[in-house]
Amino acid sequence: MLTSIYPILPPRLAELFKKISPAIVQQITEIRIRAQRPLVAVLGNQDILIGLNGEIVENCRLAYYCVPEDLMQLVQLISKNSLYAYEQELRSGYFTIAGGHRIGVAGQAIMENGRLKALKYISSVNIRIAREVAGCADVILPYLIDGECLMSSLIISPPRCGKTTILRDIVRQISDGVYLMPCKGVQVGIVDERSEIAACQQGVPTMNIGCRSDILDGCPKAIGMLMLIRSMSPTVIVTDELGREEDACAVREALHAGIAVITTVHGRDETEVSHRPYIGELIRERFFDRYIILDNKPQMGTLKKVIAVKDDTVLYSWEKRGAYVVKAGR
């Protein structure tokens, strides 16, 4: 929730958000802080400008303009005045704080031998608000469970469609057991590379990810999946945002070992993803059982389509059955 990030906001910005209507605050999914530019909050697909007294304004000239000191203070609060300890995260362009909130940063890149060494003069920060929404995966779960078996599934969506929130709720339910369906709780292995699914603090999850879940926090996906296969005997491995060649290889390894995989990827549909290197091979070779496709139209969190991969059957389509909006955050 937004209130959980107030401690890392500069006091001036925190006071502005405290003045905003609670009904609006509950809808905020991102906060954009840019040097010498207006303070922006994102509500799903809509951006709003924050005024000098916390009001919503339409004219940029009436908005609160962030100053470099706001960004400097924000980074100091996030890093607890030890930015050096976050150098590795800064090279990745983001880091995750307590509660699973992801902080994206941009600024001047310092290069060394053709590689990014560091970022300095941070000029933009994007705070992505993590939310825990119990039950947001209810409509999806019937398509992931066949009898007592879990279907290996790829959740496909553009950014800001709620896939991480949905993935977290899937983990919780399949770990605890889906009592309205013939699915007892199973052993779940989570590779939480960005610390967003479980939002661990000192190895302990701060999100509810069920009673049968084991977590590798901050571990690269490919390494973590192979570690879980060897050490934890999971029924299903869950991870977020596939992208690299080694990720695709690790998914193959898990599936060949008889372990289900539930994961996500950025894209608009399976056809678009099939043209991407590495991950596209998993699509073309039909490694998954289900594609779960989310969209941000007509609004964020719309379950657009569910496809049974084996025979290309469309199990669900909002165009035919009416839109179902998953009430999820990021």
Q: DSSP secondary-structure letter at 151? A: P
* CATH number of 73's domain: 3.30.450
Q: State CA 175 to chain mean position distance.
A: 19
* CATH number of 167's domain: 3.40.50.300
**pLDDT band (50, 70, 90) for residue 45:** confident
Q: Are residue 101 and residue 148 in the same domain, yes or no?
A: no
Q: Are residue 79 and residue 46 in the same domain, yes or no?
A: yes
**pLDDT beyond 90 at 91:** no
- Of the chain, the end-to-end C-alpha distance in Å amounts to 11
Q: Are residue 188 and residue 278 in the same domain, yes or no?
A: yes
Domain end (from 95, 128, 161): 128
**How far apart are the C-alpha atoms of 243 and 265, rounded to whole Å?**
7
Q: What is the pLDDT of residue 233?
A: 96
**pLDDT band (50, 70, 90) for residue 1:** low
| Nearest residue to 214 (alpha-carbon basis) of 236, 181, 194 | 236
Phi, psi of 308 (to 5 degrees): -85, 115
Q: What is the pLDDT of residue 115?
A: 84
| Nearest residue to 214 (alpha-carbon basis) of 239, 245, 194 | 239
pTM metric for this prediction: 0.85
**How far apart are the C-alpha atoms of 252 and 155, rounded to whole Å?**
17
Which two structure tokens, joined as six digits, stand for 77?
């609060």
**pLDDT beyond 90 at 324:** no
Q: Is residue 1 part of a domain?
A: no
Q: Which of 67-81, 210-224, 304-318 has the lowest mean pLDDT?
A: 67-81
Burial of 130 (0-12, 13-18, 19+ CB in 10 A): buried
pLDDT, tens digit (0-9, with 9 covering 90-100), for 98-142: 888 989 999 998 888 888 887 788 899 999 998 888 999 999 999
User: Do the beta carbons of residue 301 and residue 325 sit within 8 Å?
Assistant: yes
Q: Are residue 96 and residue 238 in the same domain, yes or no?
A: no
How many C-beta neighbours within 10 Å does residue 34 have? Answer: 17
Q: Are residue 147 and residue 239 in the same domain, yes or no?
A: yes
Q: What is the pLDDT of residue 318?
A: 84
**pLDDT band (50, 70, 90) for residue 329:** very low
pLDDT, tens digit (0-9, with 9 covering 90-100), for 180-238: 777 789 999 999 998 999 999 888 999 999 999 999 999 999 999 999 999 999 999 99
Q: Are residue 157 and residue 58 in the same domain, yes or no?
A: no
Q: Are residue 118 and residue 182 in the same domain, yes or no?
A: no
Q: Are residue 204 and residue 235 in the same domain, yes or no?
A: yes
User: Do the beta carbons of residue 271 and residue 296 sit within 8 Å?
Assistant: no
Length of the chain: 330
Paired residues of 237 in beta bridges: 189, 261
For 119, the 3-state DSSP assignment is strand
Q: What is the pLDDT of residue 112?
A: 87
Q: What is the mean pLDDT of the chain?
A: 90
Tell me what the mean pLDDT of segment 51-75 comes to: 94
Q: How far is CA 73 from CA 42, 301, 306, in A?
A: 22, 33, 45
Which two structure tokens, joined as six digits, stand for 215?
């977590």
Domain end (from 128, 157, 180): 128
**pLDDT beyond 50 at 278:** yes
**pLDDT beyond 70 at 93:** yes
Q: State CA 223 to chain mean position distance.
A: 20
Domain end (from 107, 128, 149): 128
Q: Is residue 29 part of a domain?
A: yes
Q: How far is CA 233 from CA 41, 214, 227, in A?
A: 43, 10, 10
Q: State CA 112 to chain mean position distance.
A: 30
Q: Is residue 62 part of a domain?
A: yes
Range of the domain at 171: 140-325
> Which comes out higher in pLDDT, residue 46 or 155?
155
**pLDDT band (50, 70, 90) for residue 83:** low
Q: Is residue 236 part of a domain?
A: yes
Q: DSSP secondary-structure letter at 51? A: B
Q: Are residue 78 and residue 15 in the same domain, yes or no?
A: yes
> What is the tally of structural domains in the chain?
2
| Nearest residue to 295 (alpha-carbon basis) of 315, 263, 268 | 268
User: Do the beta carbons of residue 28 and residue 42 sit within 8 Å?
Assistant: yes
Q: Are residue 118 and residue 155 in the same domain, yes or no?
A: no
Q: What is the pLDDT of residue 84?
A: 62
| Nearest residue to 129 (alpha-carbon basis) of 302, 8, 258, 250 | 8
Q: Are residue 168 and residue 288 in the same domain, yes or no?
A: yes
Q: Are residue 70 and residue 160 in the same domain, yes or no?
A: no
pLDDT, tens digit (0-9, with 9 covering 90-100), for 151-191: 999 999 998 888 999 999 999 999 999 877 777 899 999 99
pLDDT, tens digit (0-9, with 9 covering 90-100), for 285-309: 999 999 999 998 877 778 999 999 9
Q: Is residue 47 part of a domain?
A: yes
Tell me what the mean pLDDT of segment 60-68 comes to: 95
Q: Is residue 133 part of a domain?
A: no
Phi, psi of 39 (to 5 degrees): -75, 125
